[in-house]
Structure 1
């Protein structure tokens, strides 16, 4: 992003958990928080994946990056992860959850039980497990942000399970925001096509990361924010910096 009005906030000591951080969009989130000086905790599937991700980040992977091998896809696993972070880091300030992936398969009338399990149940359970474990521990210094795609609102034939799962996550954010009121800040970012190491889009993965940093650093109450082009990135940053969001 080439915006001279944006100044990266100082998040020194800010503890952020980024489940899904090794993914293409997650990489942009991790880079942005590291640039802000935060302590960034990224769970991975294996030591090999940790090493690969650290190499991919290059010089950005400094002493503030904490890669931990941990399965957080179940309620028990996510609870254990969060409790370990709170114990060893002294607390948890923010969560940014770019958990997920794309699924292309059959029509809804043709899906198998395995399709349903892998494309809806597993991802939905993982998001719910992380939110229920982390939300009670979050400090006033940060926020919880779930990242979804436009498929949450626009049906894609042959990828209906993705649309259903993403729509459920949007409602999860709204319910969590309503239930916690002013005691917690819970956001959703709704993304159009994103430029990553795998694809070309209309916003950069690093831009997504920059907006999540602004959310965690600022006082804006819970909201859902769309990021579909550079203009919407600039608008989001302006509103978040000013202390308001639509």
Structure 2
């Protein structure tokens, strides 16, 4: 398999997108370590293999350093770091105060930086790679999740700078994700009817599945992407249909057949 003998860490790899990424790496032959504050409800497994879980608060720099030191001692190497952990509640800028928004920035931007720095020497020794998990929220207005969007924009910029500073030993790329169907989709889109309706706004007609995100991450970590660094790979089903196209009246006569 593509990643036989490789070791991968997936932060926030216990559920949702992170679990999908972890399963894809397991299926590709890698030894996978997932970390989060809480253990998964069920072990993350694929192809008869199971990811190892280690509890870590990624906002605690000392704990993160200890985690990567322990990973190095246990496996003797680290080939891939997937900075997936993140997220945000819906909160308008005027609600909650600056400190609450700062915590969103801490989790979605500073924590990936902390993890990457802690993992650097292991990755450099293995000539490995970092995969940042970004979002289309970092490339467009994100009302209700403005701090999250700002963090994801910063994460993409960070990855490009890292790719230059850490070359040629460590490659760094970003997956820029659109909407993904997870166990928490109902919190954002409502019931199955709502999820389906939201999916229809995507050119490909549906939300992504976590394992599809995993396949893209495995590609960026594999030898097939050996010359890909500093790149942003859009995994968003074609993006969003521009609203003005549905609002415009210029082509009504043509569409009416008159």
Q: TM (normalized to structure 1)?
A: 0.80
Is 1:105 paired with 2:91? yes
Q: Which residue is 1:3 aligned to?
A: none
| CA 1:192–1:136: 2 relative to 1, 3 Å | same
Q: 2:105 aligns with which of 115, 120, 145?
A: 120
User: Over alpha carbons, which structure has the higher Rg?
Assistant: 2
Q: 1:157 aligns with which of 143, 146, 158?
A: 143
Is 1:83 paired with 2:69? yes
Point out the structure with the larger helix share: 1
User: Cα distance, 1:82 vs. partner?
Assistant: 0.8
User: Cα distance, 1:65 vs. partner?
Assistant: 1.7
Q: How does 1:46-61 map to 2 (within 5 A)?
A: 46=38, 49-50=39-40, 52-54=41-43, 57=44, 60=46
- The answer to whether the 8 Å contact 1:135/1:144 transfers is no
Q: Which residue is 2:82 aligned to?
A: 96
Q: Which residue is 1:213 aligned to?
A: 218
User: Cα distance, 1:80 vs. partner?
Assistant: 1.0
| CA 1:197–1:169: 2 relative to 1, 3 Å | same
Deviation >3 Å, runs of 4+? 61-64, 139-142
- The answer to whether the 8 Å contact 2:36/2:58 transfers is no
- The answer to whether the 8 Å contact 2:128/2:169 transfers is no
RMSD value, Cα: 2.2
Distance in 2 of aligned mates of 1:175 and 1:73: 22
Q: 2:161 aligns with which of 175, 179, 182?
A: 175
Question: 24-33 vs 176-185, which deviates more?
Answer: 176-185
- The answer to whether the 8 Å contact 2:177/2:236 transfers is yes
Q: TM (normalized to structure 2)?
A: 0.76
Distance in 2 of aligned mates of 1:126 and 1:116: 15
SS at match of 2:163: helix
**Structure 1: any 5+ residue segments left out of the alignment?**
1-8, 232-246
- The answer to whether the 8 Å contact 2:24/2:46 transfers is no
Q: Which residue is 1:187 aligned to?
A: 173
**Structure 2: any 5+ residue segments left out of the alignment?**
186-194, 196-205, 240-258
Distance in 2 of aligned mates of 1:95 and 1:195: 23
Is 1:30 paired with 2:22? yes
Is 1:136 paired with 2:121? yes
The superposition leaves residues 143-196 of structure 1 with CA deviations (integer Å, 9 ceiling, x where unpaired) of: 110101100011122221111111111111011011112221001000111122
